[in-house]
Structure 1
Amino acid sequence: MAEEAPGTQRHYRAPCPGCGAPVEFRSAQSAYAVCGYCHSTVARSGEVLSRIGKMAELFDDHSPLQLMASGRIALAGQDTAFTLVGRLQYKASVGTWTEWSAMLPDGTLAWLGEDNGAYVFSQPQPPHKPLPAASAFTVGKSATINGKPYAIAFNEQVALIAAEGELPKLPPLGQAFAMVELRSADGEVLSLDYGSTPPAASLGRAVRLEDLRLTGLRDESARDEKARQFNCPHCGAPVQVALASTRSITCGSCHSIIDLGSGVGGELRSALQDEPVQPLIPLGSMGLLQGARWQVVGFQHRMGLAPGDDEQFGWTEYLLYNLQRGFAFLVDSQEGWSVVAPTTGAPLVNEARGTAVYQGTVYQQQYAYQAETTYAEGEFYWPVARGQKTSNRDYAAGNKLLSMERTPTEVTWSAGSRIASDAVAQAFKLDDKKDLLKRSDPAPLSAAKGVGCGTIVLVVFVVMVLLILLTTCSTRCDPRYENCAASRTSGGSYGGFSTGGGHK
């Protein structure tokens, strides 16, 4: 029967053709639904429901979101309510993510993309003219859609693996199709979904879960950790996975990197690592940075090589996790400490001038180099591997930082700022390691204006002494007690890694 619901929409409910349980349609834009009882995939034509197949079981991603959770967001300058009424789970070569169907007060549907604790709220954005084939979009190049320039950040084959609730679209289960993500310099992301004909387009930007004023969230105490334990395939030691988004983890006993691409209980592959590098901030540490409480869940050491240079340099990255804000990176290099996180948008790059403009700020390119992961420890939301390589560029504007990492299928940007080493020590309660954490702390560029000749001579002397010490220590650095990554002389990275897609 059809029932009136609050607002302007008609709330339609009918028996599932598969099991007879009630199936509801709250939005007129919903053409499909997945029965919550028998998982039948149901298509709606007017007031007639037909069963067109059966949906696979959802994988438990331990998301704080669930169906019928509601929140508020600013759309077109208006404070707008929304309710989550459906969910699609997708898989690409580098991971999985979720699209939540969000019903607005007028019955139209938007999308809340969720991946690794990051969220993008988007709405349908019909193109003014037919879109080209997905193969026409080359990662790293630019394209103009609806008169606006975008950088092409992601182009890969993806597949639907599960769904629930009511949905405006439903690509064939398990059938690969192209998805392209384009990002703008003002933080917008345009997603082109080639799972339908013609391709569907949606435009959105990043949002913080804490800003959506959500109610009806999932009870985190119901999370079952028992299914996230297994024995290391290399040495047999017990390994426990703390985060549902983890795609690779290291064994605490033998330091092997374990690929969880097939899930816990699937076929596990391990790669043994020798010469472990000891992190200065222990895994599991909790720290208060930038108004949020972060946990250190991963650590990796990376090496870089600039074109035409025969000397490598190294740095380390700590992967941080916060339930509301997702993931960020605390980066330790000779240039100092910094905190960065993957961006939704993509800066406007001027190759000739070596600049990148992002959200109104002009950044100057500092370094360009090839980066390689040489050691990893902990949990990671992407399939980390020793020897993993990216092409990197680092930009700076005062203490503000931008970093680009490119792979054949994706370009990822991260943004953040430098922080003082004392702030790192204070955040993680490491007063006993202040000397080891000490770096060249950031200072405003204007601070150099009043520097006198005596100060310059002193600085030059100190630099010469430090270079001699670094040269002496480089041959006998003990990673158990020292930060060996800081002994580089040029280049660097401001960190960051994403598995791609604007729904991240």
Structure 2
Amino acid sequence: MQTVSCPGCGAAVVFRSHASVMAVCEYCKTTVLKDADSVKDFGKMSAVLEDYSPLQIGSSGVFGGRAFDVIGRIQLRYAAGMWNEWYLLFEDGSAAWLGDSSGQYTLTTEKTASNKLPAFADIVVAQTYEIAGLSYLAAEVRIADCIGGQGELPFKVGPGWQAKLADFRHGSNFLTLDYSDVVQASDDSKVDQPALYIGKAVTLSELKFQLLRDEDVIKASAGKFRGKITSLNCPACGSNMDYLPGLTANVICSRCHSQLDSSGTVAQVLASADRMSKLNTTLELGAKATISANSYQIIGLMKRKDDENTVWTEYLLYSARAGFLWLIETNQGWAKSQVLADWPLWYHGESATLANKSYGKLYEYQAKVIYAAGAFNWRVVVGDSLKAIEFGNGIRKLAAEISADEITWSLSTPVAADQIRAWFGDNIKADKAGKFANAEETIATLSPQFIFWLLLFNAIPLLSDFESNWWVVGLGVAAIYYPAKFLGPAGKGDE
């Protein structure tokens, strides 16, 4: 451990790791560079956006039987959103990175590559690559800007610093190739190898975290409260909108359909469209529900359509305790969907394997966004189109959504309409409530007389031996006629 004085304000700046080359002064945000026994002022580092994350400098945990502390963070922003990279120092002096994106976490450590790694420009999303002895699926390729830093870091970052990253997946295994410092010769004869980081998808409970920020601390941190829905006035039309500070950086005004960037201190209009009338959906933005003992609220909704112009609605729900959840409404019914941290194994074949279960390919189509409103944890643009591939195993469905920059996997299960009604209750629009009683209405609209004659017609073969079967026919008539009589339109005495 080494303590130095900040060149900017004189406050103590502590370097806990010998590998750290810079630290951000807690008081004046001066970037302090460590050079042998001296320190240098590298200018001011932008303060990180105090977001929803429960992690903080000083949090501690255990992984693989080794204790660690969180000693640094960089905050990165790219075209579709933003995320945190937390720098961890283990008790044995080794280090690791904990990626923190929309409540999903990956822990990686730097490794030495044993074979030649692909060039950044050659990586294609959803293609497989043999790296470090495994067949990895390219999950995401992006260039991100560093928008803030905190604590100690093992390399020099500052204004204008960019990260060039490619992420890969193999089940729960996670791999990152970092091309940020790769230098290519002018004659293309030599390309430096990217840094290689290997790890896995993890959860905070799995890492046995201690000293996490509680809700009161998060709330006191510039009002950026995890789970607190905050109001924002649209800069384009003045309409009031709800969003999650630091969590949903992309907000779409439901009135004028302007696309806003709310990741900074002031919301900025990214794109604007003609004013649109409010979409008539079964569930509305802001509707609340209790699902599996967790309180959820609908923060975003979008409509999409496929190649055959079939349209469906997707609702994004958020819970302070449980994170994100999707509800999908189609003309076939409802489904609950969760984005997966542990990915299926799939090599572009007719099946995918998840938890040792095989899912057969069902459909492949283009999914296009035709309407979006509310807040999202990535950038949603009307007109965006991506390839969707669905796989099935019984009632469960896997879905891969593939764009030019990213692939995501989700697992969905059907939800009965009665369950949706139980979850949302009065939050379901009155003019839509009837759709949940389709089955009951179908029975109710069948008159007792119709059911009687239908049964009688189908009982003709039994009448050929009426003496021995008359009681069976009579029982069948009674069993259907009398319930129909009391369920039918004329028998609804409780209305």
Shorter-chain TM-score range:
0.7 to 0.9
Q: Using the TM superposition, give the Cα deviation of residue 244 of structure 1 relative to its aligned residue in structure 2, in angstroms.
A: 2.3
Does residue 195 in structure 1 map to residue 193 in structure 2?
no
Match of 1:476 in 2: none
Per-residue CA deviations over 1:44-82 (Å, capped at 9, x if unaligned) read 245433333331222232432211122334x2xx3x432
Q: Which amino acid aligns with 1:312?
A: N
Per-residue CA deviations over 1:390-444 (Å, capped at 9, x if unaligned) read 111111111222111122222222223333333332233359876534799xxxx
Per-residue CA deviations over 1:143-201 (Å, capped at 9, x if unaligned) read 010110011111122222211101123345323342101111x2222111112354222
Unaligned runs of 5+ in 1: 1-10, 306-310, 441-457, 459-504
Change (3 A) 1:209 1:257: farther
Q: Which amino acid aligns with 1:348?
A: L
Show the 5 A alignment for 1:288-307.
288-290=290-292, 292-305=294-307
Per-residue CA deviations over 1:441-474 (Å, capped at 9, x if unaligned) read xxxxxxxxxxxxxxxxx9xxxxxxxxxxxxxxxx
- Residue of structure 1 aligned with 2:6, choices 16, 19, 22: 16
What SS is found at the alignment partner of 1:279?
coil
Q: Using the TM superposition, give the Cα deviation of residue 35 of structure 1 relative to its aligned residue in structure 2, in angstroms.
A: 1.4
Q: Using the TM superposition, give the Cα deviation of residue 100 of structure 1 relative to its aligned residue in structure 2, in angstroms.
A: 0.7
Match of 2:421 in 1: 425
**Which structure has the greater CA radius of gyration?**
2
What is the root-mean-square deviation in Å for CA atoms of aligned residues?
2.9
Does residue 349 in structure 1 map to residue 351 in structure 2?
no
- Residue of structure 2 aligned with 1:41, choices 13, 18, 31: 31
How many angstroms apart in 1 are the aligned matches of 2:438 and 2:203? 31
Match of 1:436 in 2: 435
What SS is found at the alignment partner of 1:129?
coil
How many angstroms apart in 2 are the aligned matches of 1:336 and 1:170? 52
TM-score by length of 1: 0.75
How many angstroms apart in 2 are the aligned matches of 1:410 and 1:226? 28
- Residue of structure 1 aligned with 2:367, choices 363, 368, 371: 371
Q: Using the TM superposition, give the Cα deviation of residue 303 of structure 1 relative to its aligned residue in structure 2, in angstroms.
A: 0.9
The answer (yes or no) to whether the contact 1:248–1:383 under 8 Å persists in 2 is yes
How many angstroms apart in 2 are the aligned matches of 1:121 and 1:180? 15
Q: Using the TM superposition, give the Cα deviation of residue 329 of structure 1 relative to its aligned residue in structure 2, in angstroms.
A: 1.1
Match of 1:332 in 2: 329
Match of 1:125 in 2: 111
Point out the more displaced range, 376-385 or 54-63: 54-63
Does residue 61 in structure 1 map to residue 51 in structure 2?
yes
Q: Using the TM superposition, give the Cα deviation of residue 127 of structure 1 relative to its aligned residue in structure 2, in angstroms.
A: 2.0
Point out the more displaced range, 123-132 or 366-375: 123-132
Change (3 A) 1:14 1:343: same
How many angstroms apart in 2 are the aligned matches of 1:424 and 1:355? 31
Unaligned runs of 5+ in 2: 183-192, 440-457, 459-495
The answer (yes or no) to whether the contact 1:375–1:386 under 8 Å persists in 2 is yes
Change (3 A) 1:266 1:429: closer
Structure with the larger RCO, 1 or 2 (CA within 8 Å, 6+ apart): 1
Q: Which amino acid aligns with 1:97?
A: W
Q: Using the TM superposition, give the Cα deviation of residue 224 of structure 1 relative to its aligned residue in structure 2, in angstroms.
A: 4.1
Match of 1:386 in 2: 382
Q: Which amino acid aligns with 2:181?
A: S
Match of 1:316 in 2: 313
Q: Using the TM superposition, give the Cα deviation of residue 255 of structure 1 relative to its aligned residue in structure 2, in angstroms.
A: 4.8
Change (3 A) 1:170 1:437: farther
What SS is found at the alignment partner of 1:220?
helix
Number of equivalent positions: 419
Change (3 A) 1:332 1:401: same
The answer (yes or no) to whether the contact 1:26–1:107 under 8 Å persists in 2 is no
What SS is found at the alignment partner of 1:418?
strand
The answer (yes or no) to whether the contact 1:390–1:407 under 8 Å persists in 2 is yes
Point out the more displaced range, 292-301 or 341-350: 341-350
Q: Using the TM superposition, give the Cα deviation of residue 138 of structure 1 relative to its aligned residue in structure 2, in angstroms.
A: 1.3
How many angstroms apart in 1 are the aligned matches of 2:266 and 2:361? 45
Does residue 205 in structure 1 map to residue 205 in structure 2?
no
How many angstroms apart in 2 are the aligned matches of 1:239 and 1:281? 17
How many angstroms apart in 2 are the aligned matches of 1:239 and 1:435? 29
Change (3 A) 1:208 1:279: farther
More helix by share: 2
TM-score by length of 2: 0.77
